[in-house]
Amino acid sequence: MKGKARGIAEKSIVRLVDQMIGTGTLIATLPGGKTLRLGPGGEPTIALTIHDRRTMMAIILNPDPAFPEAYMDGRVTIEQGDLLDFFHLIAPIERASSYPVSARMNRRLRFAARRLSQWNGLTASLRNVKRHYDLSPAMYRRFLDADMQYSCAYFSRPGMSLEDAQAAKKRHIAAKLMIEPSMSVLDIGCGWGGMALTLANECDACVTGITLSEEQLAVARERGAGRDDVRFELRDYRTLEQTYDRIVSVGMFEHVGIRNYKTFFQKSHDLLARDGVMLLHTIGRSEPPNVTSGFIHKYIFPGGYIPALSEVSAAIERAGLTVTDVEVLTTHYADTLAEWRNRFHATRDEVLEEYDERFFRMWDLYLAASEAAFRYYNMVVFQIQIVHDKTVVPMSRDYIEKRERELAKADSEKSRSDVTSAAE
């Protein structure tokens, strides 16, 4: 009787998983050695082994975060194919009515409680930042470009290197900011200082970069040492008072949390000069509001949330600001993440010397799942230009490309001059 009940349960599980697969073939070896072939067939083909029944049931009942946790712990191993292919194969839960009731209910409960989980007050924000960004700088140097840009690059033409695409991203943003020499610029969430230094170097701006990460601050200050046109502070944007000609925020808004959107844009309203321009570069979702992945929330970005454009634009409007330009970068981040993941794998031995196998698997899964989200699902990047006075921005977007060319030319000439000086 026990064996019969197990057989009925196994058939139910097979039927359920088969419906969760949106494309391709999943070859699953279950505890006990039985192998199943699931999905509509074709590529990609993924073969994996689930090593115990408790893990199998946990994944069926609530795939996220049960599958990532099992993969991190080695209770699930992929024998054929790649993690990226796996995430391509499995349909997102919001698209699959066939997902278990328990998983869908859990997601609805987390959606209802998302304002609480994104509390992100001053103390919580500092704690959440430390969880992710206060890993060693060496860890990030292993897979980022030399400027340590930890956000979506801008592949403006085919075949660009990551370094060139990140430089193009910074110029694209600088062009939209329309910075003139000696303007004051606030960089909210300045990371390791690359954007601030670029705006000072290429636009002759006076830049203040703020971060909540002590590790990032140390690197940024080292890079900006001896300069009076760039300074970096360990500061929360909510504690600032003075106004700035320009405000830029790249890859920071994802940590604000929806309950703080009103505060963020009201503060931006107060900090931005009346004739100022702000550029917000943030990951977004090209779908209605949703909820953060359980795995991402628990292990990677606690307190984080990826907004729908409707959530951002409504908050901007309520703060009395005006949107003058919105650009959606589609698969640029997928290509960025693919390069990061290749570099991360190439330095596997170094990562294992500093951390451990579980950490490597966790980050590998994070990078692969993120790439899949941008390549196959509904994640994009929004670049939103924001002002008080809509007349400060030209009526045509031609100025953006023109300014990018000017910045690129000036940088090229400076590089040639530096090479000549070094040779002499």
365-401 residue pLDDT tens? 999 999 999 999 999 999 999 999 999 999 999 999 9
Together in a domain, 103 and 133: no
Q: What is the mean pLDDT of residues 103-122?
A: 59
Together in a domain, 145 and 241: yes
Residue 416, pLDDT score: 62
Residue 1, pLDDT score: 45
Last residue of a domain, one of 79, 112, 145: 112
pLDDT at 105 over 70: no
Cβ 200 vs Cβ 230: under 8 Å:
yes
Together in a domain, 197 and 323: yes
> Which element (helix H / strand E) includes 264?
helix 261-271
pLDDT band at 160; cut points 50, 70, 90: very high
Question: Looking at per-residue confidence, does 201 or 117 come out higher?
Answer: 201
Instruction: Look at residue 234 and give its three-state secondary structure.
Output: strand
Decide if 201 is inside a domain. yes
Residue 63, pLDDT score: 82
Last residue of a domain, one of 77, 112, 147: 112
Together in a domain, 89 and 232: no
Together in a domain, 94 and 239: no
Question: Looking at per-residue confidence, does 161 or 110 come out higher?
Answer: 161
pLDDT at 257 over 80: yes
| φ, ψ of residue 99 in degrees (nearest 5) | -60, 150
pLDDT at 191 over 90: yes
Which segment, 1-5, 280-284, 301-305, is predicted with the most confidence on average?
Answer: 280-284
Decide if 117 is inside a domain. no
Question: Looking at per-residue confidence, does 335 or 125 come out higher?
Answer: 335
Residue 124, pLDDT score: 60
Domain range for 31 is 2-112
Together in a domain, 34 and 103: yes
pLDDT tens-digit series, residues 35-91:
999 988 899 999 999 999 899 888 877 888 899 999 999 999 999 999 999 999 886
Output the average pLDDT for the chain.
88
Token pair 């960089």 in the structure block, residue = 187
Together in a domain, 45 and 64: yes
Instruction: Look at residue 378 and give its three-state secondary structure.
Output: coil
Last residue of a domain, one of 61, 94, 112: 112
Residue 177, pLDDT score: 98
Decide if 367 is inside a domain. yes
Quick one: tokens of 16?
Answer: 């359920």
Closest CA to 89 of 22, 154, 188: 22
Residue 94, pLDDT score: 47
pLDDT at 113 over 70: no
Decide if 137 is inside a domain. yes
Decide if 239 is inside a domain. yes
Together in a domain, 92 and 126: no
pLDDT band at 303; cut points 50, 70, 90: confident
Together in a domain, 220 and 76: no
Distance between CA atoms of residues 208 and 216, nearest Å: 14
CATH number of the domain where residue 44 is located:
3.30.1050
Together in a domain, 255 and 358: yes
Closest CA to 244 of 324, 320, 188, 318: 188
Distance between CA atoms of residues 155 and 172, nearest Å: 11
Decide if 338 is inside a domain. yes
- Domains held by the chain: number: 2
Together in a domain, 236 and 367: yes
Together in a domain, 99 and 128: no
CATH number of the domain where residue 219 is located:
3.40.50.150
